[in-house]
């Protein structure tokens, strides 16, 4: 039996070629493409303006590998953590984060992760594979549907801060953004999208050269190499100096103000001397700083810094005329907060 083609892996041009091979007119491909991306069809029978015979023809030759929602947990703060089942039976997680000002979809880009950051539950999992663009896209669609069903509000923002490192899945991440922002897709503004990276300087330079329109966030967490090496092994091959140069280049090429994410750990990076180092790094290019509350994980070595230390840290940064926000965690009671994804999800192990 002929193996069916994963239809959402095809560009419009490739889909047109395949449709023509089946003896159909080229315009049919555009109709199908619109159903897949703009109308979000996950079954060929949903393509109701196509004849039954044509629907049967494409069903016999193509397959749509759509995500399946296998579990949803609702936090006391209304955050919803979702476990999504992929076609190969892998499991990823995505989160709907509701606040007064925005509804945010947090999506994953890999099954597992290879970076092994000391403070992150996902980093304890092995990396199985990259997600395809359509698998990232499906998370956004499904979380948006969930937001409208549960809270009667569509999502306003998307953050690529779930499982995996986005810049190690560069091609599919950018393709997913294109699908999300395209008028042939969801039509969302790129300014509503933030890609978060642990810091791969060559890929940050690639983003700059590609003149991306979305926001970039660098997970810094320490502004000296010795400390950062301890918690983020990737720093050994992506030093702070190389990251600083890449971020300067990115800011110049895109005209945007990247975000520096900084988790404050008790007795590790919570002193004013640490803040001084962060100031020196942040002042190198237009930036803003998000101080993030640490969320404990099983067998984790680190603890959240005291409120007094966090406030003093933030005040020092502000005294140096830096833009600072303190981000309080949401969804902690269901392990949906930053760094906790897949912490206790046996399916995702």
Domain containing residue 316: CATH number: 3.20.20.70
Q: What is the pLDDT of residue 267?
A: 93
Q: Mind listing the pLDDT tens digit for each residue in 217-252? A: 999 999 999 999 999 999 999 999 999 999 999 999
Q: What is the pLDDT of residue 302?
A: 86
101 shares its domain with 129: yes
Average pLDDT over residues 273-294: 96
> Is 338 tagged catalytic?
yes
27 shares its domain with 121: no
Q: What is the pLDDT of residue 326?
A: 92
Q: Of the residues 106, 117, 120, 338, which is catalytic?
A: 338
Pick from 40-49, 125-134, 148-157, 321-330: least confident = 321-330
281 shares its domain with 153: yes
150 shares its domain with 34: no
* Spatial separation of the C-alpha atoms in residues 267 and 302, rounded to whole Å: 9
224 shares its domain with 321: yes
pLDDT at 348 over 50: no
* Spatial separation of the C-alpha atoms in residues 255 and 252, rounded to whole Å: 5
Q: How many CB atoms lie within 10 A of CB 28?
A: 19
pLDDT at 15 over 70: yes
Q: What is the pLDDT of residue 30?
A: 96
pLDDT cut 90: percent of the chain above it: 83
Q: What is the pLDDT of residue 118?
A: 85
* 73: β partners: 81
118 shares its domain with 236: yes
226 shares its domain with 282: yes
29 shares its domain with 80: no
> Is 106 tagged catalytic?
no
214 shares its domain with 86: yes
135 shares its domain with 259: yes
- CA distances from residue 320 to 86, 174, 278, 279, 315 in whole angstroms, order as listed: 47, 35, 11, 7, 9
Q: Of the residues 93, 135, 261, 293, which is catalytic?
A: 93
| The last residue of a domain, from among 40, 63, 86 | 63
167 shares its domain with 315: yes
Q: What is the pLDDT of residue 168?
A: 97
* Spatial separation of the C-alpha atoms in residues 38 and 173, rounded to whole Å: 18
The number of distinct structural domains making up the chain is 2
Residue 341's pLDDT band, with cuts at 50, 70 and 90, is very low
pLDDT at 344 over 60: no
Cβ atoms of 35 and 41 within 8 Å: the answer is: yes
Average pLDDT over residues 171-188: 96
Q: What is the pLDDT of residue 202?
A: 98
44 shares its domain with 99: no
Q: What is the pLDDT of residue 294?
A: 86
Q: What is the pLDDT of residue 114?
A: 87
Query: For all residues of the chain together, what is the average pLDDT?
Result: 92
- CA distances from residue 54 to 23, 32, 44, 150, 184 in whole angstroms, order as listed: 11, 10, 10, 36, 22
Average pLDDT over residues 305-325: 95
CATH number for position 25 = 1.10.150.530
Q: What is the pLDDT of residue 127?
A: 85
Q: How many CB atoms lie within 10 A of CB 279?
A: 17
The H or E element that residue 204 is part of is helix 201-209
The parent domain of residue 287 ranges over: 68-348
Pick from 112-126, 189-203, 329-343: least confident = 329-343
Strands 5-6 and 62-63: parallel
């Amino acid at each position: 039996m002929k193996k069916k083609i994963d239809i959402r892996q095809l560009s419009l041009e490739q889909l047109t070629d395949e449709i023509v091979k089946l003896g159909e007119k080229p315009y049919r491909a555009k109709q199908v493409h619109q159903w897949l991306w703009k109308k979000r069809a996950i079954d060929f029978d949903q393509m109701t303006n196509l004849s039954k015979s044509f629907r049967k023809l494409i069903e016999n030759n193509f397959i749509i590998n759509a995500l399946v929602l296998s579990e949803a947990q609702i936090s006391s703060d209304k955050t919803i953590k979702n476990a999504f089942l992929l076609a190969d039976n892998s499991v990823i997680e995505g989160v709907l984060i509701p606040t007064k000002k925005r509804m945010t979809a947090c999506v994953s880009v890999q099954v597992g992760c290879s970076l092994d950051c000391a403070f992150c539950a996902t980093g304890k999992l092995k990396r199985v594979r990259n997600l395809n663009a359509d698998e990232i896209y499906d998370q956004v669609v499904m979380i948006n549907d969930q937001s409208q069903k549960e809270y009667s509000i569509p999502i306003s923002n998307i953050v690529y801060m779930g499982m995996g490192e986005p810049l190690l899945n560069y091609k599919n991440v950018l393709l997913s953004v294109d699908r999300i922002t395209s008028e042939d897709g969801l039509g969302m503004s790129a300014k509503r999208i933030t890609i978060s990276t642990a810091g791969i300087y060559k890929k940050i330079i690639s983003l700059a050269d590609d003149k991306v329109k979305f926001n970039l966030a660098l997970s810094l967490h320490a502004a000296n190499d010795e400390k950062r090496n301890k918690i983020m092994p990737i720093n050994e091959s992506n030093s702070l100096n190389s990251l600083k140069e890449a971020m300067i280049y990115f800011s110049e090429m895109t005209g945007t103000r990247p975000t520096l994410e900084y988790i404050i750990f008790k007795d590790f990076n919570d002193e004013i001397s640490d803040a001084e180092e962060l100031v020196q790094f942040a002042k190198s290019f237009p930036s803003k700083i998000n101080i993030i509350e640490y969320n404990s994980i099983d067998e984790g070595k680190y603890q959240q810094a005291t409120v007094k230390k966090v406030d003093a840290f933030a005040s020092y940064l502000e005294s140096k005329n830096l833009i600072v926000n303190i981000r309080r965690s949401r969804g902690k009671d269901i392990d949906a907060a930053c760094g906790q994804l897949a912490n206790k999800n046996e399916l995702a192990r």
